[in-house]
Amino acid sequence: MQRRNRPGQRPSSTSLAWLWWLAGLILVSGVILTLLAPTLVTSYIRAYVQKDDFRQKAEDLIAARMDGSAHIAPITWNDDTASVTELSFSNSGWSVEAGGLRAALDFGAIRQGKWSIQNAGADDLALRHTAATSSPPAANATKFDNSNDGIPSFLRRYIPTQTRISGFEVHRFVFEQAGWKIADSQLRLGDWHTGEVSVSAKLNGGKLHTPVLAPEQKEPLQFDLTRATLRVSDSQLQISDAALRWKQASEATLRGSVKYDTGAWQIFTHVKAVPMDEFLDAWWKQRLSGKIEGDLEMAGARNAPPAWKADLSLKDGALTGLPILDKLVTYTNTHRFKRLVLDICSASIRPQGDALRIEKIIVQSNGLLRIEGALTIRGR
């Protein structure tokens, strides 16, 4: 005869053990899954980035972020290092072309909740301002969607949202904006973290082409770029310090800025040992010599002529062969006037309409003469 439990009798100890075992199993499974989630995400990402679908999604992401179009050549992976032969993107105002890109992705950092990109660089990088278009490119018609990347939804919250790039090096860098051009320079970008709106940069070597056409120069001024320290943001390029060289061992230090949207720029320059004869016509080259030193300020904007002013002095200056000096030799019987050594020769110069205004003029030759004043020059 089967024995029945009496009313109020407690469940057997075997049933309670099964319940505790099941709860423990669920708890342990949850803990293990939580601990393994970053590793699972890393595995998914490592497999996904090596697919061509990742390259296409990267193109869509760049196009959406830049409000333009993008192209990325097939990505080649060697362990944790990726390389791309070429990358380009453009929008209504800018175009970027890069070649020989490479970067290493630290997959271990994904477990710490961040993307870590190291040893990044490119053989060539060109950044150019282009004419604005009236309508946005067709690439923006669809919104970027990252839902089909093969990562299960329950693991998505473990995908890093922070990014750290440990510098970026470019062997040949070109930048063009509003008549200014930096060519064939080596570029080194500093570290960048998510949330930062600017990054430090250093340039070494190359050429600096300007839109400034100086007197008696057939082409706009062009300098050898020795070095430069900059800060690049999403709105402007800030030049903290730059060292330049020009003809006959002349030197210049420079600081300033260029705004991307308007093309407005301003430059503050200190020049040293600049040969005066580079800015003189044939007649004056035979009569005035010396080296220019002083400060030059320039400003301008896209499709607008630059404005400038200068406070300059002439070092080791001399005047010779002027008709008035020959008359002074005859009148005073002082042969020192034949070649007048200028101990002081300085002035402030700025354009005034179609004329050139020269103020604070001081010309002095010790023991012979001192001239002070101002004048306006029109025409040649």
pLDDT in tens, 75-126: 999 989 999 999 999 988 889 999 999 999 998 888 788 889 999 999 999 9
Residue 179: count of CB within 10 angstroms of its CB: 18
Query: What is the sign of the dihedral through the CA atoms of 310, 313, 314 and 316?
Result: negative
Q: How confident is the model at residue 357 (pLDDT cuts 50, 70, 90)?
A: very high
Q: 36 or 376: whose pLDDT is higher?
A: 376
Is residue 231 within 8 Å of residue 189, measured between CB atoms? Answer: no
Sequence-distant (≥ 6) Cβ neighbours of residue 347 within 8 angstroms: 311, 312, 358, 359, 360, 361, 362
Q: What pLDDT is attached to residue 140?
A: 44
CA distance 122 to 98: 7
Q: 335 or 224: whose pLDDT is higher?
A: 224
Q: What is the pTM of this model?
A: 0.78
**186, β-bridge pairs:** 204
246-262 burial, b at 16+ Cβ within 10 Å, e below that, comes to: beeebbbebbbbbbbee
Is residue 181 within 8 Å of residue 276, measured between CB atoms? Answer: no
224 pLDDT more than 80: yes
Is residue 44 within 8 Å of residue 156, measured between CB atoms? Answer: no
Calculate mean pLDDT across residues 291-297. 96
**H or E segment to which residue 78 belongs:** strand 75-78
> Cα 232 vs. chain centroid, distance in angstroms?
5
Q: With left for phi above 0 and alpha for psi between -120 and 50, is residue 222 left, alpha or beta?
A: beta
SS3 304: coil
Q: Max CA-CA distance within the chain?
A: 153
Calculate mean pLDDT across residues 3-8. 52
Q: 148 or 43: whose pLDDT is higher?
A: 43
CA distance 364 to 341: 9
